[in-house]
Amino acid sequence: MITWIKGELVSSWQSNNKFFILINCRGLGYEIQTLESVIVDIDTKKIFEKEIILWLKHIKKEDSDNLFGFINKDQRDFFIRILNIKGIGSQIGMSLLNKFTLNEINNAITNNDKKLISSVQGIGQKMTERLILELKSKVRNNKIEEEISEKNNLLSENREFNSIFEDINLTLESLNYSKKEIKNIYPKLTNHIKENKNLILEKDNISFEALLKVAMNYLDNRK
């Protein structure tokens, strides 16, 4: 099964309401149906003869063998989910993703917005109701998982900050800075991390040395 491809973009074209690209991957040409947004991005950035990466869904039938490509995994995974709904084929799935962003679709499912879903050609009222019914729980579960993941990341980040702050506290005390002075700079260090985190990262971790230098600069400038 082909699930991901990285290769040189050779050509792109539109046929009726379908959009295609041709990718050269190690000497083989892969014809892939994709979204209009990918074609627009190609035309805007003029990325022919440059590398392109797509997440794929491979659909093989008795009379056809097709690849569908998406810029991000979330789009691809949503496409796979709606294909499992009775009566919804690949072209309806592509039409839905061509007309609306994934966030718009998920919001419509969550809010039971039948008007938005049924505005896509080929999706009638009954299919709209079935789609919302079958996907609502999946969309809700995905949001819960995202919220849990975000909370876990924040907790992990806070533990990392606290550990570094403790080390900075001990180091500054050994350099004869007063406890009051050290305590007063913590809010400034926190703000500095939020505003300049990309500047004080070291291999995806907060750099103790960089933050200590910032702390000492604050303290020395106060004197």
- The C-alpha atoms of residue 68 and residue 75 are separated, in whole angstroms, by 11
| The pLDDT value given to residue 128 | 92
Q: What is the model's pLDDT at position 48?
A: 56
CA dihedral of residues 183, 184, 189, 192 (deg, nearest 10): 170
pLDDT at 62 over 60: yes
pLDDT of residue 64: 82
Q: Where are the domains of the chain?
A: 1-71, 74-150, 151-222
- C-alpha angle 68-120-115 in degrees, rounded to nearest 5: 140
| DSSP designation for 208 | H
Mean per-residue pLDDT for 48-73? 86
Q: What is the mean pLDDT of residues 165-178?
A: 81
The domain 74-150 belongs to what CATH superfamily? 5' to 3' exonuclease, C-terminal subdomain (1.10.150.20)
Q: What is the pLDDT of residue 194?
A: 67
**Domain 1-71 homologous superfamily, CATH:** Nucleic acid-binding proteins (2.40.50.140)
Q: Is the pTM of this model over 0.85?
A: no
Q: What's the mean pLDDT when you consider all of the chain?
A: 80
pLDDT(154) > 60: no
Neighbours of 215 (CB within 10 A): 23
Looking at residue 69, what is its pLDDT?
95
Rounded-to-integer distance, Cα 116 and Cα 100, Å: 9
Where is pLDDT greater, at 199 or 168?
168
pLDDT digits 0-9 by tens, 192-206: 766 665 544 443 455
Query: How much is the average pLDDT of 103-112?
Result: 88
Position with higher pLDDT, 29 vs 196: 29
Q: Which residue has the higher pLDDT, 108 or 46?
A: 108
Residue 211: pLDDT band with limits 50, 70, 90:
confident
Q: Which of 61, 66, 9, 16 is nearest to 38 (CA)?
A: 9
Query: Quick check: do 1-71 and 74-150 share a fold?
Result: no
Higher-pLDDT residue of 179, 80? 80
Q: State residue 222's pLDDT score.
A: 63
